[in-house]
Structure 1
Amino acid sequence: MILDKSLIQQYNEQLAATQQKKFNFLKATLQDEGHDVTALLEQLAAFQIAIPSWALGTGGTRFGRFSGGGEPRSLEEKMEDVGLLHALNQSSGAISLHIPWDIPQNATAIKQLAASFELQFDAVNSNTFQDQNDQNYSYKFGSLSHTDKQVRDQAIAHNVEVIKHGIDLGSKALTIWLSDGTDFPGQQNFRRSFQRTLDSFQQIYDALPEDWKVFIEYKPYEPHFYSTVVADWGTSLLFCQKLGEKALGLVDLGHHLPNTNIEQIVSRFLMEGKLGGFHFNDSKYGDDDLTVGAMQPFQLFLIFNELVEGMASQEVQNPALSWMIDASHNVKDPLEDLLQSIEAIKIALAQALIVDRKKLENAQEQNDTTTAQEILQHAFRTDVRPLLAQARLESGAAIDPLAFYRQNKIRQELINQRGVKTYSTGL
């Protein structure tokens, strides 16, 4: 669906007076606290979050999947949906492809389509956690860590193929989420499994172009439940340090054991200059892949607090970060969920940007725990939504993207175009 942008302008005109009142009040408050509101608006407008191609369809569980209708049936339709999101919020200017779910049949045509929606290609993602119909060897007992060299070689070749697709599209990074692991004690030798994986990673690393990066994701459990090869941030960091400067860790917010201090992990990665980026989602119990900020908005804010501090510090030398949503939804309209997720991410960013850094650092130096907590709580409790709405308004996006989406019955329009019983490819 190609959105008529004049509808956004008409919609904004209806809300302009109310938005101006809300923004003026917040602007005066922030200025009184010493903030440069113009600079804040510029930072928020520049912040872009990639949309994964697999998030445009209704997600599922191992028990079932229920299509919401109007799902994209091809890569081209997925790109249309991302273009729609970007038109609504001007914050979704990139798409991340999963191979082989979304192999471009004509890279030149796909790049031209992306340009028409003002989209770029974020990291490309490999898949060795599933067997494909045309592959010779199974990944049931592992891929890059497998005891059989033929299986490892097959998995390595797939990652190299993904890199080639990324080069054709203008991507600059490869993301590897390795599901390899074990389900029972004694199933594999931990040390040898690590060494086999390192050798496989090294061959993939050697295939990277000079200006590329590889992001190594980690996860403590699932689909295997006794061990995973890349189980935690320390293992990811260890692989990255052994591989070289182009290897960086990727933090998925759902890939942690309950109550893990993710913001501290972020700080450690930054300290070592090895943070590559994020897969944003939220969770109650595990890797739930819920809407960003739906469960733990304060944790999200604390993560961005570390990011804002670290990226501004002269002590930290870390490459530019990659930002992406990684969520799967069984009961929500995927586009509505993505709009909510992007809003939550940018709220957390805006709140982190208004933390009084000098006062916070002074409180930390003085071991004044109460004041430090009050400074963070003050920023977190500030309603920055009018700031985000103003940034959208000034960039030509909708003041309230979700309300616009519903008011214009966009999901019904997609159903009319694509059908009720459509299923997004890949999932």
Structure 2
Amino acid sequence: RKAINHLLECVDIAKETGSNDFSLWFADGTNYPGQGDIRKRKNWMLEALHEMYKALTPDMRMLIEYKAFEPAFYHTDIADWGMAYHYATKLGPQAQVLVDTGHHLPGANVEHIVAFLMDEKRLGGFHFNSYKYADDDLIVGSSNPYELFLIFYQILNAAQDVDAGIRHTVDKIAYLIDQSHNIEPKIPAMIRSVLNVQTQYAKALLINHAEVEEAVSRQDVLGAEDAVRQAFEFDVAPLLKAIREEQGLPADPMKAYLASEYGTQILQRGKGGASW
């Protein structure tokens, strides 16, 4: 009951602050067989989420996150996108799935998961980061930029769908960055993440979807792959710089930040001003 009350308090806070989206990740599970009844825990989770769902206003959304492990190592209550999707469908249309790009086991096809959830109209948002082994929370796109590009490919492909519901799902996607800063300064790391996202999104915009579909219709596997890969290999840096200049922004945001010496200034504040 304490957990349910806490969720209801979150809804009350959101009403006061005007927030509409809840990013829900539960660090709950067990470390050893027999430590907890998995089926009972499943039903308790649904009961708690259902109480919260009933308290939502019509404009609110529950974005249910998942994670294979950490801190629980034997079983985690919401361990993958399928479990999150299950709870979302049990609750109703205001419950959707949040995809953290670092919350997958090695080898997972994240863009496949993204495409599946969009087609089911259940993709609510992203926590962007990068990982090599598990939930490393590295700078977005630093480990596998092609994966980030392919995620945007699937999103832009769905944006052209004839199904208005799927297009609406794409329009409502919440994009967030969720990364930790271990050895790199906080603000430059975040700038790098944003720049990486902009780069891969710009490249994905260059994909000729008609060319891909035409190759698919001919069962031309290499032709379809080539139409996608050409966009990924295109250098969009000059284009992004030109767009920033047209908007009156620095052509190179990282250089502009470093030249501002803001990082040095906040360090002088002492406690609370550390950039690490």
Q: Is the 8 A contact 2:160 2:167 kept in 1?
A: no
Output aligned runs, 1:48-127, within 5 Å.
none
Shift of 1:186: 2.0
Shift of 1:162: 2.2
2:56 maps to 208
1:42 maps to none
Spell out, residue by residue over 1:244-278, the C-alpha distance to the aligned partner (whole angstroms, 9 max, x if none).
Answer: 00000000000000010000000100010000010
Secondary structure of the structure 1 residue equivalent to 2:159: helix
Aligned CA-pair RMSD: 1.6
Q: Is the 8 A contact 2:153 2:204 kept in 1?
A: yes
Output aligned runs, 1:24-39, within 5 Å.
none
Q: 1:162 to 1:377 in 2, by over 3 A?
A: same
Aligned partners of 2:4, 2:239: CA distance in 1, in Å? 46
1:374 maps to 226
Shift of 1:408: 1.7
2:154 maps to 306
Q: Is the 8 A contact 1:220 1:228 kept in 2?
A: yes
* Alignment partner of 1:286 out of 134, 137, 145: 134
The answer on 1:383 being equivalent to 2:235 is yes
Q: Is the 8 A contact 1:274 1:318 kept in 2?
A: no
Shift of 1:161: 2.1
Shift of 1:192: 1.4
* Alignment partner of 1:180 out of 28, 31, 46: 28
Output aligned runs, 1:127-166, within 5 Å.
153-166=1-14
Spell out, residue by residue over 1:303-331, the C-alpha distance to the aligned partner (whole angstroms, 9 max, x if none).
Answer: 11101101221233543100000000111
2:182 maps to 330
Aligned partners of 1:363, 1:189: CA distance in 2, in Å? 51
2:214 maps to 362
Output aligned runs, 1:212-231, within 5 Å.
212-231=60-79
Aligned partners of 1:265, 1:376: CA distance in 2, in Å? 19
Instruction: Name the amino acid aligned to 1:422.
Output: G
Spell out, residue by residue over 1:196-234, the C-alpha distance to the aligned partner (whole angstroms, 9 max, x if none).
Answer: 100000001111111110100000111101111111111
Secondary structure of the structure 1 residue equivalent to 2:229: helix
Spell out, residue by residue over 1:288-347, the C-alpha distance to the aligned partner (whole angstroms, 9 max, x if none).
Answer: 000001110001101111011012212335431000000001111111011000111111
Aligned residues: 271
Larger Rg: 1
Q: 1:408 to 1:208 in 2, by over 3 A?
A: same
Instruction: Name which structure has the greater RCO, CA cutoff 8 Å, separation 6+.
Output: 1
Aligned partners of 1:365, 1:171: CA distance in 2, in Å? 45
Runs of at least 4 residues off by over 4 Å: none
Structure 1-normalised TM-score?
0.61
Q: Is the 8 A contact 2:8 2:55 kept in 1?
A: yes
Percent identity among equivalent residues? 37
Aligned partners of 1:379, 1:396: CA distance in 2, in Å? 27
Name which of structure 1's ranges 333-342 and 160-169 shifts more when overlaid on structure 2.
160-169
